[in-house]
Amino acid sequence: MDATCILDGKFALAESPVWSASDQKLWFADIHAPNLHRFDPATQKLETWNMPSALGSLAPTRGHELLLARRDGIWLFDPVSESETLLATSPLEDARFNDGRCDRQGRFWVGGMTDDRQPDTALYRLEGGRVLRQGLVGAIAISNGLAWSPDGATMYHADTPTMCVWAYDYDVKTAAISNRRLFLDLRETAERPDGATVDSAGNYWVALYGAGRVVQVSPEGKRLRDVRLPANATTMPCFGGPDFKTLYITTARQRHTPEDLAKTPLAGGIFAIPVEIPGLPEVPFTSGA
């Protein structure tokens, strides 16, 4: 299966794609630009909002605002008025927020990423809309792969340099995690897990940064299929389209040499491919969760 480039944006580090069902558009970040983008696949129109600090991830809300995990904290951002409200100041030093999303109940989780790629950060949860609970999973260098099963009872998470994805039992009432277990071991192939999502059948789709592909993995951990891209630095997939049967994939071109770009000129583009099993819409952030 090969994905097609739908936006040759040459983004340095496109990440955190989120589909908006209300207007059929794709939100995503270019982390270090730092920019927030909204793309309309039907018209090819791209809108851009410049951010004051690195934008690691984003999540929808029940209104038209977005939840943004920036280097300086967690913010509510209104793209219409461009006004913003600080919810929680970042506790990170020499690090920034990276991969983040809401669980099936609308509680926002986000991981950190250290500047020197050392395992000195953690996974956090925004509680009561204003307080970051820290250290839920610790000793993380590059937090990625965060996703939940359709029933919300299993949480997935990866620390990219370890080349492993872990699964946890997840208490949907209390958000407590337990029973950590190895779900996907990529150490033999040296493939590095980046952003991920889950389809309506419970299959886990994860981007393999540097491998030029996104893989679909069954709930039992069996590798089912590979989606190949003409861009090596695949960063994150998400489902979208009217029926959520289009897989959108962000990529990067950071740290590419001229020789790399000659071989993969579409690096940093946004890609898409139709799939048979539909995905699930992102759960909006609920401040009282």
| Domains in the chain: boundaries | 4-274
Taking a C-beta distance cutoff of 8 angstroms, is the pair 198, 205 a contact?
Answer: yes
Q: Is 169 a catalytic residue?
A: no
User: Cα separation of 103 and 227, whole Å?
Assistant: 26
Q: Is residue 116 annotated as involved in ligand binding? A: yes
Report in angstroms the alpha-carbon separations of 188 from 168, 191, 223, 235, 236: 23, 8, 14, 20, 22
35 annotated to a ligand binding site: no
Q: Which is nearest to 93 in space by CA: 125, 71, 109?
A: 71
Ligand-binding site membership of 15 (annotated): yes
- Per annotation, catalytic residue among 30, 99, 103, 194: 194
- Does 203 appear as a known binding residue? no
Residue 133 annotated as lining a ligand binding site: no
Q: Round to whole Å and give the CA distance between 280 and 235.
A: 19
The one-digit pLDDT tens for each residue of the chain (289 residues) are 799 999 999 999 999 999 999 999 999 999 999 999 999 999 999 999 999 999 999 999 999 999 999 999 999 999 999 999 999 999 998 999 999 999 999 999 999 999 999 999 999 999 887 888 876 899 999 999 999 999 999 999 999 999 999 999 999 999 999 999 999 999 999 999 999 999 999 999 999 999 999 999 999 999 999 999 999 999 999 999 999 999 999 999 999 999 999 999 999 999 999 999 999 999 999 976 5
What does the buried/exposed string (b/e) look like for 215-241 if buried means 16 or more CB atoms within 10 Å of the residue's CB?
Answer: bbbeeeeeeeeebebbbbbbbbbbbbb
Q: Which CATH superfamily is domain 4-274 in?
A: TolB, C-terminal domain (2.120.10.30)
